[in-house]
Amino acid sequence: MNETRYERGAAMLAAVDGPAGLAVVEQLAAAFPAFARYLVEFPFGDIYARDGLGLRERELATVAALCALGHALPQLRVHVHAALHVGCKPHEVVEVIMQMAVYAGFPAALNGLAVARSVFEEAGITLPIAD
Amino acid sequence: MNETRYERGAAMLAAVDGPAGLAVVEQLAAAFPAFARYLVEFPFGDIYARDGLGLRERELATVAALCALGHALPQLRVHVHAALHVGCKPHEVVEVIMQMAVYAGFPAALNGLAVARSVFEEAGITLPIAD
Amino acid sequence: MNETRYERGAAMLAAVDGPAGLAVVEQLAAAFPAFARYLVEFPFGDIYARDGLGLRERELATVAALCALGHALPQLRVHVHAALHVGCKPHEVVEVIMQMAVYAGFPAALNGLAVARSVFEEAGITLPIAD
Amino acid sequence: MNETRYERGAAMLAAVDGPAGLAVVEQLAAAFPAFARYLVEFPFGDIYARDGLGLRERELATVAALCALGHALPQLRVHVHAALHVGCKPHEVVEVIMQMAVYAGFPAALNGLAVARSVFEEAGITLPIAD
Amino acid sequence: MNETRYERGAAMLAAVDGPAGLAVVEQLAAAFPAFARYLVEFPFGDIYARDGLGLRERELATVAALCALGHALPQLRVHVHAALHVGCKPHEVVEVIMQMAVYAGFPAALNGLAVARSVFEEAGITLPIAD
Amino acid sequence: MNETRYERGAAMLAAVDGPAGLAVVEQLAAAFPAFARYLVEFPFGDIYARDGLGLRERELATVAALCALGHALPQLRVHVHAALHVGCKPHEVVEVIMQMAVYAGFPAALNGLAVARSVFEEAGITLPIAD
């Protein structure tokens, strides 16, 4: 049934981030196959697959946490993309990152906004968003 | 207009956390009045008062960030309470904190769950929540 | 096969920390059963159960990480106990924590030593260890 | 010459924090003598003893860092006391801690102010300080 | 009076960092105008503009905090520049960063020194500074 | 006897990391000679030179801590190299980094694995390691 967790996780990862998420896992699996499997199974097969919280809320919470941690900018990039993919509006992502100035300080928020700007540019989203 | 930011922040703080939040500010103001004013004006008068993200989403993002940071358990306590106050379900708060195991590690999530358990007990919310 | 992961994790947790570890999980499960299950399955059933690194090395690495993180003192307490349980010498635990002064700063190391002192006292280990 | 570093460090620690600092070291030395020696020799014998930055500036920088780190409240307590001991005004300590809201977030600053309030009370310093 | 806070903040930012600081804000404002406004108003219009702590002390405290946080190297670059701009000596900046090895560990200090070296090179400041 | 600590530290650094470690120190010494001296004397002359913990265990603990901290990737690179140099197997390094997903979260572990992959490539170590 490990396969079941993996399959559920892979489906959830695709739901969360589309083909981009699966591509990240495949690249990881080429070097660290066990860890790639854990990454699919635990975060996505166990946690994201749970009922009781919508994907939009999950992604906004993840954007908040990754921005606040400070050392997780590559992962923040993935999850800003994922947030848009599950239907968060660009301005919602920006609101969450701005809010991190309160809890984690302006540097964490500024670094988070730089990531968002870069993802938005790739996605053809024009800045500034009307305030 | 500083008063306007303060008034808007105080109203927002009351909306977010009820009388408990204002009591925290009053206690702070007795020792550090300028900082108490900033706490009302910037986080609540400027950030929380913005359109474009619902209070439920704001509180879930805050719970995520405070749990992930690790050093902010007193503030996490306030915002678990606030999350319930703005209509988040207890299980939604638990979902967000459990999700932090993925991004900030199991210790941060375990410490966050201990805070949630304590707030829930005070609020008469029975654990375990049906899974 | 989830049961297999759980069973493997529970056995590993018992090997790592003895009855104390299982007691922590049981207490957690009373309030947060899903998270208690994840805690057994992923850290212990997936990671600790892997070949290729001895339990002594795993526990020393965990002590290092929990001390360096700074916000994980309750978990550091558990793993100082676990380190002794899997055969680490008290002076090895102290060496690892002292080494954290280099990488995470003296405050993290001092807080870690205070935890070690408390665990050692409960275990009847006399300090100072001969230098 | 290790003794020279130790002696220079002990003298500097006394200059920085008075008898309280030496008492902390003695208590530490009872359990972890080597680490107590390093604590005197490197931070105080090597770093604080350097020319080129006044003790007031050193203590304000230390208060800033310990507050920003978030996990170092016991050490922040020592250094708020030390800051006063080397001639920093209470309001200067408060200014530095409030400033940390910008860089490390409001929770870190709030926790820092709580420490300052406690030290000030023990020292008979009345709050609020005139703004 | 928001304009007053903004104007006071912009003047303070110019005092702290010269044209470089204002350029950072303008670039930010092109993408995130609300956040650029908050950045001028709260950190500079509210905090830096306060009496009771000199700009030199404020900048040394900021350099300490940004170095200790570890994730704030882009902001550390700005504030090493700002520290020089408000009259801190290069060796004072280096002393503060070296002191962070004590509180945040050698990696944070080493990363901070790399930033300082880069800013000093751009400013034509020769290293090593006479010890 | 400072020379003795320095000499002991330099010999230990060479034992830990070979010529690469000494090259890092020389480059640092060109800009910050005092700090380069401290880096040899305290971490390597005082801590690593202590009896009671093998170099393999010290390096695995350091890899764990640097990965968990999140902001210390340049130093993690040095110590992944050093871990191999003192006889740790590549798969042991990978095990420690994977274990950090439990304590510091998946982003810290993913960033650590990316560093390991890069060091392994330079060392001609083929990935994936047989699981």
- Residue corresponding to tokens 């991004």: B103
For residue F2, name the pLDDT band (cuts at 50, 70, 90).
low
Task: Tell me the nearest-neighbour CA distance from E129 into chain A, angstroms.
Answer: 29
pLDDT value, residue C130? 73
On the 0-12 / 13-18 / 19+ scale of CB atoms within 10 A, F13 is buried
Q: Assign 3-class secondary structure to chain C.
A: CHHHHHHHHHHHHHHHHCHHHHHHHHHHHHHCHHHHHHHHHHHHHHHHCCCCCCHHHHHHHHHHHHHHHCCCHHHHHHHHHHHHHCCCCHHHHHHHHHHHHHHHCHHHHHHHHHHHHHHHHHCCCCCCCCC
Distances from the Cα of C1 to the Cαs of A1, A4, C4, C7, in angstroms? 5, 10, 5, 9
Task: Tell me the nearest-neighbour CA distance from D122 into chain E, angstroms.
Answer: 23
Question: Furthest-apart CA pair in chain F: how many Å?
Answer: 48
pTM: 0.97
Q: Is C42 in Cβ contact with A38 (below 8 Å)?
A: yes
pLDDT value, residue B131? 54
Determine the Cα–Cα distance for residues D55 and D49; give it in Å rounded to an integer: 9
Distance of alpha carbon F127 from the chain centroid: 20
Nearest to A46 by CA among A8, A20, A18, A75: A8
Q: How much is the average pLDDT of A76-98?
A: 98
SS3 at position B78: helix
Residues from E contacting B (CB-CB < 8 Å) are: 1-2, 5, 34, 38, 42, 46-47, 50
Distances from the Cα of D127 to the Cαs of B28, B33, D119, E49, E79, in angstroms? 11, 10, 11, 22, 31
Q: What domains sit in chain A, N to C, each tagged with a CATH number?
A: 1-50 (no CATH), 53-124 (1.20.1290.10)
Determine the Cα–Cα distance for residues D11 and A78; give it in Å rounded to an integer: 52
Task: Tell me the nearest-neighbour CA distance from C61 into chain A, angstroms.
Answer: 18
Sequence letter at residue A105: G
pLDDT tens by residue, F76-96: 999 999 999 999 999 999 999
pLDDT tens by residue, A93-128: 999 999 999 999 999 999 999 999 999 999 999 999
> Using only C-alpha atoms, what is the Rg of chain A?
15
- Residue corresponding to tokens 């860890």: A35
Distances from the Cα of C69 to the Cαs of B115, C76, C103, in angstroms? 19, 10, 10
> Is the CB of residue E99 less than 8 Å from the CB of residue F63?
no
Q: Which of E97, E103, E110 to substitute to test the interface with F, most F CBs within 10 Å?
A: E110
> Is the CB of residue B14 less than 8 Å from the CB of residue D111?
no
F105: which chain A residues are within 8 Å (Cβ-Cβ)?
Answer: 69, 72
On the 0-12 / 13-18 / 19+ scale of CB atoms within 10 A, C15 is middle
Residue of chain E nearest C99, judged by CA positions: E105
> Is the CB of residue F40 less than 8 Å from the CB of residue D46?
no
Count how many pairs of residues, chain C against chain D, have C-beta atoms within 8 Å. Answer: 50
Here the tokens at position B115 are 């805070």
If you ran DSSP here, which 8-state letter would residue A31 be given? H
Nearest to D46 by CA among D9, D18, D3, D83: D9
> Is the CB of residue F103 less than 8 Å from the CB of residue F68?
yes
Here the tokens at position F101 are 């997903």
Low-confidence ranges of chain B (pLDDT < 70): 1-3, 131
For residue A3, name the pLDDT band (cuts at 50, 70, 90).
low
Task: Tell me the nearest-neighbour CA distance from A131 into chain F, angstroms.
Answer: 31
> Is the CB of residue F119 less than 8 Å from the CB of residue F80?
yes
Q: Is D107 in Cβ contact with A105 (below 8 Å)?
A: no
Here the tokens at position A75 are 């992962």
pLDDT of residue A1 exceeding 60, the answer is no
On the 0-12 / 13-18 / 19+ scale of CB atoms within 10 A, D69 is buried
B96: which chain A residues are within 8 Å (Cβ-Cβ)?
Answer: 53, 57, 61
Task: Tell me the nearest-neighbour CA distance from E68 into chain C, angstroms.
Answer: 10
Determine the Cα–Cα distance for residues F110 and A31; give it in Å rounded to an integer: 12
Here the tokens at position C91 are 């002076």
Mutual angle of helices C90-104 and C55-69, in 10-degree steps: 40
From C1, C42, C46, residue closest to A1, measured CB to CB: C1
If you ran DSSP here, which 8-state letter would residue B97 be given? H
From F2, F34, F46, residue closest to D38, measured CB to CB: F46
pLDDT of residue F55 exceeding 60, the answer is yes
Nearest to C72 by CA among E68, D31, F69, D76: F69
pLDDT of residue F75 exceeding 80, the answer is yes
Determine the Cα–Cα distance for residues C78 and C86; give it in Å rounded to an integer: 12
Sequence letter at residue F96: V
pLDDT of residue E2 exceeding 90, the answer is no
Q: Is B101 in Cβ contact with A65 (below 8 Å)?
A: no
pLDDT tens by residue, E86-102: 999 999 999 999 999 99
Name the average pLDDT for chain E: 96
Q: Assign 3-class secondary structure to E67-92.
A: HHHCCCHHHHHHHHHHHHHCCCCHHH
Count how many pairs of residues, chain B against chain F, have C-beta atoms within 8 Å. Answer: 22
Distances from the Cα of C131 to the Cαs of A116, C38, C91, D39, F47, in angstroms? 52, 40, 9, 16, 12
- Residue corresponding to tokens 């946490």: A65
Q: Is D113 in Cβ contact with B75 (below 8 Å)?
A: no
> Is the CB of residue B115 less than 8 Å from the CB of residue B94?
no
Q: Is C42 in Cβ contact with F95 (below 8 Å)?
A: no
Distances from the Cα of B74 to the Cαs of A59, B57, B92, C7, D104, in angstroms? 24, 20, 20, 36, 16
Q: Is F74 in Cβ contact with E98 (below 8 Å)?
A: no
Determine the Cα–Cα distance for residues D63 and D74; give it in Å rounded to an integer: 12
pLDDT value, residue A130? 74
pLDDT value, residue F130? 73
Q: How much is the average pLDDT of E49-73?
A: 98
Residue-wise DSSP of A42-93: IIIIIIIT-SSS-HHHHHHHHHHHHHHHSS-HHHHHHHHHHHHHTT--HHHH
> Is the CB of residue B36 less than 8 Å from the CB of residue D118?
no
Q: Is C50 in Cβ contact with A34 (below 8 Å)?
A: yes
Q: Which of F67, F102, F106 to substitute to test the interface with A, most A CBs within 10 Å?
A: F106
pLDDT tens by residue, D14-49: 999 999 999 999 999 999 999 999 999 999 999 999
E100: which chain F residues are within 8 Å (Cβ-Cβ)?
Answer: none
Residue of chain C nearest E105, judged by CA positions: C105
pLDDT value, residue F50? 97
Q: Which of D69, D71, D115 to substitute to test the interface with C, most C CBs within 10 Å?
A: D71
Task: Tell me the nearest-neighbour CA distance from E111 into chain B, angstroms.
Answer: 21
Q: How much is the average pLDDT of E20-42?
A: 97
Sequence letter at residue E100: M
Sign of CA dihedral F65, F104, E102, E66: positive
pLDDT tens by residue, A20-71: 999 999 999 999 999 999 999 999 999 999 999 999 999 999 999 999 999 9
Here the tokens at position C51 are 């070949």
Q: Is C105 in Cβ contact with E101 (below 8 Å)?
A: yes
Determine the Cα–Cα distance for residues D79 and D96; give it in Å rounded to an integer: 12
pLDDT of residue D4 exceeding 60, the answer is yes
Distances from the Cα of B6 to the Cαs of B26, B37, C123, in angstroms? 13, 7, 54
Task: Tell me the nearest-neighbour CA distance from D63 into chain A, angstroms.
Answer: 17
Here the tokens at position F59 are 């390096």
Sequence letter at residue E105: G
Q: Is E103 in Cβ contact with C105 (below 8 Å)?
A: yes
Residue-wise DSSP of chain D: -HHHHHHHHHHHHHHHHTHHHHHHHHHHHHH-HHHHHHHIIIIIIIIIT-SSS-HHHHHHHHHHHHHHHSS-HHHHHHHHHHHHHTT--HHHHHHHHHHHHHHH-HHHHHHHHHHHHHHHHHTT--SSPP-
Q: Is A99 in Cβ contact with B47 (below 8 Å)?
A: yes
pLDDT of residue A131 exceeding 60, the answer is no
> Is the CB of residue C98 less than 8 Å from the CB of residue D35?
yes
- The subunits that touch chain E, with at least 3 C-beta pairs less than 8 Å apart, are A, B, C, D, F
> Is the CB of residue C60 less than 8 Å from the CB of residue B96?
no
Determine the Cα–Cα distance for residues F63 and F45; give it in Å rounded to an integer: 19
B72: which chain D residues are within 8 Å (Cβ-Cβ)?
Answer: 70, 105, 107-108, 111
> Is the CB of residue C58 less than 8 Å from the CB of residue C48?
yes
Distances from the Cα of C121 to the Cαs of C14, C76, C124, E3, in angstroms? 22, 15, 5, 60
